[in-house]
Structure 1
Amino acid sequence: MDYDFTFVVTGATVDDQDAIDALRETCDALLARAGGVDLLSVSWPGDCAVQAALEAASAIRATVPRLRVCRLDRDLVGIHEIAERTGRSRQNVAQWVAGARKARGAPFPAPEGTVGRSQAWLWSEVNHWLAAHGLDDGAAHPTREEMAQIDVALAGRISLTFRFATTPGFKDGRQRVIDELRSRHISRFLTLLAGFDGTTDEHGNHVLVVADGREPARGVMECVARFPHDAVLVTDTDRFTVTVLSSRGPARSGRVVPVPATATVGEWLRLVRDHPRAAFAMETGDRRTEEPARIQWQMAIAA
């Protein structure tokens, strides 16, 4: 799914033609200025709004390194703006607000606040309400909660990139893990990520390997071994689990524990809990992988 974002940025302005051209060509992003604030609008794909926003922010910083992505613009709208965006009259919109028209279903969203004498709403919430009546703009926007999570991550300059094993057939399970991360654990997870060292790629993104606990361990181990840095494995076995893995350097205990060729991710992680200081290598007959992924740290952030 593609999500629409408008970021508040600093470090480049509408007078910086090189930055404007680079952002448009690389990210299909538009830099503008409104109310004395520099804004960058972009659409980005992702399995959830938080993932999409942080990957977009990472791509923006990689394109124009001096640009700082500060936070999300809340896109507040009044009755006049809602009327313009929906092609309806201000009188119609005022009737929606008062509940006099389109009263079936959920009530019109509560206002975010007041500007002067006029009420203002989050466009994302208004757009969600309009979708039930076939009047939305057709775009996906982050929710209020997701906006707060994105702002926390941007303030800590945390960026994410999601990676998956090439093993087919586990898309739904991986999506379930992402959904649980987003809905139940994202705030604490972002706080924990801020303390992780060595899990970022050359662009400063924390690399998250998302796995279904039932998928083969082999593909996930091969995925982790390809990175020249540590990676964060996010999965669900008997509990939602975050594990930092590395394929760099020898095992701390000098011991290498073989992982059965038929083992699932869940079975592999149970071995990890039993042997937290060992390295793990996939069995391939009498041979083992040359550079087994080494468990560097394990942390369960939710039961």
Structure 2
Amino acid sequence: MPFYVFELELVGNIDESLDALYEAGYDDAVVGGDERGGSAGFDREAGSAIEAIMSAIDQAEACGLEVVGVTEDLVTLGEIAERAGRTLAAVENWVKGRRGPGGFPEPRVPRPRAALYSWADVSTWLSAGGVVEINPVVLETAHACSVIDAAIRTRRGLRDLPDEDRAKVVQLVA
């Protein structure tokens, strides 16, 4: 079975939960934080990325922590270069359309100095365009992190909606 690398953002007292997390199965995670929350970075063996991430979420929630995000998805141009094994100049050429198949993904968080891109979008673009061969497990993990993170954020947002609006959003997601 493959190993999936991802990170969960947690809210709750990490210090008080460390023993319970380990007992629940976090022996494959590096956990850090304090009484307000923190993160857990995983290198988890599982049948799929979804299975790996969901099992980690279930274990955290069973220990009384709230999972507020799954990261591994938003990356800078420098991180794209590092993951792709290319130079920053090569990545900038892809972004500007001077190299590669064109149509480089737009940043999710546009900023003048350090825009953030979706690794799921970028890795798909790299793989589909034949620009860089991406390990299928890495590609699967990036997509799973992106989808599960969106689901977690939606779940948290639903709590604040009136019942009639919540039902509409749930119908949209279903």
Q: TM-score range by the shorter chain?
A: 0.5 to 0.7
**CA distance in 2 between partners of 1:61 and 1:109 (Å):** 34
Larger RCO (CA under 8 A, 6+ residues apart)? 2
Bigger proportion of residues as helix: 2
Say whether the 8 Å CA contact 1:3–1:142 is kept in structure 2.
Answer: no
Deviation at 1:124, TM superposition (A): 2.0
TM-score computed with the length of structure 1 as normaliser: 0.40
Secondary structure in 1 aligned to 2:153? helix
Where structure 1 has 5 or more consecutive residues not aligned to the other structure, the ranges are: 158-186, 192-303
**CA distance in 1 between partners of 2:127 and 2:19 (Å):** 33
Instruction: Tell me what 1:115 maps to.
Output: 111
Deviation at 1:121, TM superposition (A): 0.3
Where structure 2 has 5 or more consecutive residues not aligned to the other structure, the ranges are: 160-169
> Once the two structures are aligned, what percentage of the paired residues are identical?
26
> What amino acid maps onto 2:39 in structure 1?
L
1:19 aligns with 2:21: no
Deviation at 1:148, TM superposition (A): 1.8
For each residue in 1:196-239, what CA deviation from the matched residue of structure 2 results, as whole angstroms up to 9, or x when unmatched?
A: xxxxxxxxxxxxxxxxxxxxxxxxxxxxxxxxxxxxxxxxxxxx
Bigger proportion of residues as strand: 1
**Whose Rg is larger?**
1
Deviation at 1:107, TM superposition (A): 2.4
From 72, 75, 86, the counterpart of 2:84: 86
Instruction: Tell me what 2:55 maps to.
Output: 55
Equivalenced residues, count: 153
Say whether the 8 Å CA contact 1:11–1:67 is kept in structure 2.
Answer: yes
Secondary structure in 1 aligned to 2:69? strand
Deviation at 1:126, TM superposition (A): 1.5
For each residue in 1:92-111, what CA deviation from the matched residue of structure 2 results, as whole angstroms up to 9, or x when unmatched?
A: 111111222222xx622111
* Counterparts in 2 of 1:142 and 1:32: CA distance versus 1, 3 Å: farther
For each residue in 1:124-148, what CA deviation from the matched residue of structure 2 results, as whole angstroms up to 9, or x when unmatched?
A: 2222222333443542223645532
**CA distance in 1 between partners of 2:17 and 2:69 (Å):** 23
Instruction: Tell me what 1:210 maps to.
Output: none
Deviation at 1:79, TM superposition (A): 1.3
> What amino acid maps onto 1:76 in structure 2?
L
> What amino acid maps onto 1:9 in structure 2?
L
